[in-house]
């Protein structure tokens, strides 16, 4: 309680040294643990660091390893305590009252000598005789009742325990106390883990590293909620590159995860070590959120690149591990979750090295894109792995485009899964990644996309059943919207590739020219304009006037259908159809500034008046995307965007706040008169929304 943080930290250091002694100080350890947990919330960082070190020492030297090993799983210890208490209850006799205890020691009470004389006395008054008779009668009834209770087999018999029984009871009592202390200690460690999770994001590098060491230690001793901290550690991987401290934290994170998941026993053969690592990596994907998977991917890419380092290869994730992962993916006798986990990890590793996916191309086509399985999640991550066969830059230095060996077979399989009818919502996530794969691996993705739309359109407008038609139409609308968006991205990539090819050609030509000719060509280009400018202008014209307005554009044929559905929600009441059509309209509005300006009033009306909270939430996200694309057009609709902060649905409020926060931090939106709208959220009934503003 000293006011000086250095004094408090030195006091904790003193306790830390005591834990290293042979004397266990069992009676004092629980107090030390409580003090250490309390000082994890100290205002001084030096005190918090020493407190977490003390907790680590208390775990390492805990005295509860005599009977059941050194593991500290709360559920097991709680069960042991419950069993011991139940056994103690069975052994202990029912404790007698003081009167019964005296009667058992002294025997029955003696009869007074003058009792006969009083009973034979005939000179008493009649009233006194009657009173005495009443009292004697009551006493007799009480004696009879007591005798019956004594002889009743259902009533507990008061019997003093023997010496052996007393010794056994004393032993069980000590065991119960031992378990109680252990449970109390583990519960304190659980509380410490919860506090330490928040300290992972401390501004002090050393404190963050201490917390990571603490979580690894807790996991080694079986502290059950340590997995929460270990999962949160993942997101520290994004700190790399900012500064020296960030690099040190990421290095420590890699070391921690390597020791937790990638450190196989050296006594095992190489194939079993690889199987151990692969199994752990697969388990790492279980119950992971989207943000968790993104952080895992970043971390695994770092580890894989370290493993492939030619100067200092560490072989943490080598080619044998990759082969084992492909074996998990191809087995039929494993669970769906394991197979999905295998392809998720393979897709992550392929982001660092495209050879990982390239080595399993046949398996991706035969297993991942097999429509008979209808495992949309497996298909989705198979499409991601398939897309990553193509390196991040399609062209090499000479400007030659990368082309996969089985492009035709892959595109046929992708077309088949994209045109397959289903009512399952997981299809849409798969379809998004399948289209991404089409636009990545295809030499002419526009023709493949056109073919997909034609096949799906024939299916939609030839379907007779109402329900089938609605679901099939939702699929078609989704494909239209995402193809429109991917078309624009494809055009921008074509422009970048054109510039790269031009630069490569110029570098080759200029290497054979003298300096005077180079200066002459440069002057001519400045006067007459470059080919790059012409290409950029052509791309801009296509985006603004051709994709959604061209006479020969296939996407332009779907614009009236999309506007018809979103304009008349009463005639098209299906919630799924309305959601997909709103998303399609949003993606189309990100294509052309002209189309965005024309349809912005309709879009704002949907965002404000749709009865479906998910549709309103998606509309908020879409307006954020449009703000990034066409800031000058959407700027006049900022008030409507801020208005969703007061939406009746909490989900819409949270989505709007995250969108506005992103736009403000990105410099896309300047807060002026809308600050009051955000200030109101400080009193929001949802604490998570209020916390986002603090």
The tally of CA atoms less than 13 A away on the side-chain side of residue 444 is: 5
> Cα 621 from chain centroid?
21
Q: Which of 81-85, 156-160, 193-197, 499-503 has the lowest mean pLDDT?
A: 156-160
Q: Is 390 left (phi over 0), alpha (psi -120 to 50) or beta?
A: beta
User: pLDDT tens, 642-692?
Assistant: 889 888 899 999 999 899 888 888 888 777 777 777 788 787 777 777 777
Total count of residues recorded for the chain: 694
As given in the structure block, the two tokens for residue 415 are 């077309």
In this predicted structure, what is the pLDDT of residue 34?
94
What's the CA dihedral at 217, 222, 228, 233 to 10 degrees?
A: 30
Percent of the chain with pLDDT over 70: 83
CA-to-CA distance for 493 and 540, rounded, in angstroms?
A: 13
> Cα 157 from chain centroid?
59
In this predicted structure, what is the pLDDT of residue 588?
93
Q: Which of 419, 331, 338, 428 is nearest to 376 (CA)?
A: 428
First-to-last alpha carbon distance for the chain, in angstroms, is 29
In this predicted structure, what is the pLDDT of residue 138?
54
3-class secondary-structure state, position 28: helix
pLDDT beyond 70 at 151: no
The residue with greater pLDDT, 261 or 161, is 261
Q: Which of 222, 216, 297 is nearest to 258 (CA)?
A: 216
User: pLDDT tens, 199-228?
Assistant: 998 888 899 999 999 999 999 999 999 999
In this predicted structure, what is the pLDDT of residue 515?
53
User: pLDDT tens, 518-538?
Assistant: 555 554 454 444 566 777 778
The answer to whether 623 touches 641, Cβ cutoff 8 Å, is yes
pTM value is: 0.82
What's the CA dihedral at 423, 429, 434, 440 to 10 degrees?
A: 160
In this predicted structure, what is the pLDDT of residue 280?
93
The tally of CA atoms less than 13 A away on the side-chain side of residue 205 is: 14
3-class secondary-structure state, position 144: helix
Beta-carbon count within 10 A of 110 CB: 7
In this prediction, residues 54-60 reach a mean pLDDT of: 94
pLDDT beyond 60 at 127: no
Q: Which of 595, 668, 652, 594 is nearest to 618 (CA)?
A: 652
Residue 395: DSSP 8-state: B
Query: Residue 388 phi/psi, 5° resolution?
Result: -85, 5
Over the chain, what is the mean pLDDT? Answer: 84
CA dihedral for 86, 92, 98, 99, sign (positive or negative): positive
């Amino acid at each position: 309680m000293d006011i000086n943080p250095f004094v408090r930290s030195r006091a904790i250091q003193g306790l830390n040294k005591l834990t290293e002694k042979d004397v266990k100080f069992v009676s004092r350890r629980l107090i030390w643990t409580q003090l250490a947990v309390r000082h994890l919330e100290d205002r001084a960082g030096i005190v918090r660091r020493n407190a977490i070190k003390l907790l680590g020492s208390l775990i390492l030297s805990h005295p509860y390893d005599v009977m059941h090993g050194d593991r500290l799983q709360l559920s097991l210890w709680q069960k042991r305590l419950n069993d011991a208490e139940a056994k103690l209850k069975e052994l202990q006799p029912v404790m007698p009252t003081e009167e019964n205890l005296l009667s058992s020691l002294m025997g029955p009470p003696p009869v007074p000598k003058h009792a006969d004389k009083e009973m034979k006395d005939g000179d008493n008054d009649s009233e006194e005789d009657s009173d005495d008779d009443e009292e004697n009668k009551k006493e007799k009834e009480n004696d009879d009742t007591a005798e019956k209770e004594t002889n009743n087999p259902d009533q507990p018999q008061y019997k003093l325990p023997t010496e052996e029984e007393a010794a056994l009871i004393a032993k069980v009592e000590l065991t119960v106390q031992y378990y109680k202390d252990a449970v109390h200690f583990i519960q304190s460690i659980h509380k410490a883990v919860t506090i330490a999770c928040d300290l992972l994001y401390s501004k002090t590098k050393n404190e963050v590293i201490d917390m990571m060491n603490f979580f690894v230690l807790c996991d080694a001793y079986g502290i059950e909620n340590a997995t929460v901290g270990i999962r949160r550690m993942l997101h520290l991987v994004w700190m790399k590159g900012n500064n020296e401290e960030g690099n040190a934290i990421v290095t420590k994170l890699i070391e921690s995860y390597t020791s937790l998941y990638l450190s196989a026993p050296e006594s095992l053969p190489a194939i079993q070590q690889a199987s151990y690592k692969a199994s752990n990596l697969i388990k790492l994907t279980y119950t992971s959120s989207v943000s968790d998977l993104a952080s895992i991917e970043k971390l695994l890419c770092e580890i894989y690149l370290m493993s492939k380092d030619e100067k200092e290869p560490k072989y943490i994730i080598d080619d044998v591990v990759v082969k084992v992962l492909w074996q998990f993916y191809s087995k039929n006798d494993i669970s769906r979750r394991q197979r999905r986990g295998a392809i998720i990890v393979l897709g992550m590793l392929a982001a660092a090295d495209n050879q990982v996916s390239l080595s399993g191309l046949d398996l991706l086509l035969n297993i991942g894109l097999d429509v008979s399985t209808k495992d949309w999640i497996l298909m989705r991550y198979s499409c991601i792995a398939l897309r990553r066969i193509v390196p991040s830059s399609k062209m090499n230095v000479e400007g030659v485009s990368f082309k996969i060996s089985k492009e035709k077979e892959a595109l046929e399989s992708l077309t088949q899964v994209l045109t397959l009818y289903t009512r399952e919502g997981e299809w849409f996530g798969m379809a998004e990644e399948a289209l991404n794969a089409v636009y990545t691996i295809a030499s002419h993705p526009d023709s493949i996309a056109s073919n997909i739309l034609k096949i799906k359109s024939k299916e939609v407008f030839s379907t007779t059943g109402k329900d089938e038609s609605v679901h099939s139409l939702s699929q078609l609308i989704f494909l239209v919207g995402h193809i429109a968006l991917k078309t624009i991205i494809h055009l921008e990539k074509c422009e970048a590739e054109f510039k790269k090819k031009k630069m490569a050609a110029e570098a080759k030509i200029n290497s054979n020219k003298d300096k005077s000719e180079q200066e002459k060509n440069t002057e001519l280009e400045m006067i007459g304009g470059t080919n790059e400018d012409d290409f950029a202008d052509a791309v801009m014209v296509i985006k603004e006037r051709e994709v959604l307005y061209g006479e020969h554009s296939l996407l332009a044929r779907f614009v009236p259908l999309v506007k018809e559905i979103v304009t008349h929600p009463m005639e098209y009441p299906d919630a799924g159809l309305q959601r997909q059509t709103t998303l399609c309209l949003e993606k189309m509005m990100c294509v052309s500034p002209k189309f965005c300006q024309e349809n912005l009033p309709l879009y704002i009306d949907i965002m404000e008046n749709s009865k479906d909270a998910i549709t309103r939430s998606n509309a908020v996200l879409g307006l954020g995307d449009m703000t990034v694309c066409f800031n000058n057009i959407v700027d006049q609709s900022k008030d409507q965007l801020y208005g969703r902060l007061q939406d009746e649905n909490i989900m819409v409020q949270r989505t709007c706040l995250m969108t506005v926060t992103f736009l403000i931090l990105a410099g896309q939106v300047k807060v002026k008169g809308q600050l009051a709208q955000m200030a109101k959220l400080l009193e929001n009934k949802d604490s998570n929304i209020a916390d986002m503003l603090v």
